[in-house]
Amino acid sequence: MLELREIAKIVDGVAKDTFTSRNFVRPIVEPAVDSVGNEALHVMIVIKPGAMDRVSGDAIFDTLTRIHDRLQGQGDERFPIIQYATEKDLKAAVDA
């Protein structure tokens, strides 16, 4: 299994490529458990405000596929559960 910082580098590279720096801010990667109890990864892709209006559905799907494929290519079988949020969304969640 890869370390979280290694996974964050993978996510960062993929998201910069598929979302571009115009829309992408940073990744947050944490260990997680999927719906059947298997180890997984919670991947938060922090985006700039309005990014989802500027990014195609294909780019979103491509991001998931490429992250998953790169993790498997590095021998990490955990499934990435991906979510998107702005910095404002994250702050609101903390303040709630």
Which domains are delineated in the chain?
4-95 (3.30.300.20)
Beta carbons of 11 and 72 less than 8 angstroms apart: no
List all residues 6 or more positions away from 68 whose beta carbon is below 8 Å from its beta carbon.
79, 80
CA–CA dist 45, 11 (Å, integer): 8
Query: 58 and 17 in contact (C-beta within 8 Å)?
Result: no
Q: What is the pLDDT along the chain (96 residues), one digit of tens a residue?
A: 899 999 999 999 999 999 999 999 999 999 999 999 999 999 999 999 999 999 999 999 999 999 999 999 999 999 999 999 999 999 998 887
